[in-house]
Amino acid sequence: MVRGLLDGGKVSVEWKAAHVNWPKDWAKLLMNATLLAADSLPRGGQIVVETSADPTTPSFKVRATGLNARILEEVEKAARGEPVAPIDGRSIQPLLTHKLARLLNAGLTLSWGDGVVELVAG
């Protein structure tokens, strides 16, 4: 689904994901994390998605690499559950991703530097 959303753009996605059936909300969290990673690549780049193979303990790492890869301050704050008011189109998706991660007790972390952005959960 995510690959279809990004197809034809400046961002490519490489799936190194196990073929397991995760609970629906974990799949939503992975999709949202991948989209946040894509948004962190203003000049394009590559996203690599890696997941655990155990359906009972879902976990993933989404790694985005590209020129000027970064997380904007308002996106970072929203992803931590501290959105800058008023909530707008740029902050709503990371805020909803944060809420979903909290609901799942997923321990979602976001880090970046030197042209790399990583989102890790599980």
Domains of the chain with bracketed CATH: 2-121 (3.30.565.10)
Per-residue pLDDT for 4 more than 90?
Answer: no
Q: What is the dihedral of CA 112, 28, 93, 101, to 10 degrees?
A: -60
| CA distance readout (Å), 63 to 85, 87, 120 | 28, 26, 9
Per-residue pLDDT for 94 more than 90?
Answer: yes
pLDDT band at 106 (very low <50, low <70, confident <90, very high): very high
- Identify the pLDDT of residue 90: 83
**Residues in CB range of 39: below 8 A, 6 or more apart:** 75, 93
- Identify the pLDDT of residue 36: 96
pLDDT in tens, 9-65: 899 999 998 889 999 999 999 999 999 999 999 999 999 999 999 888 999 999 999
- Identify the pLDDT of residue 11: 95
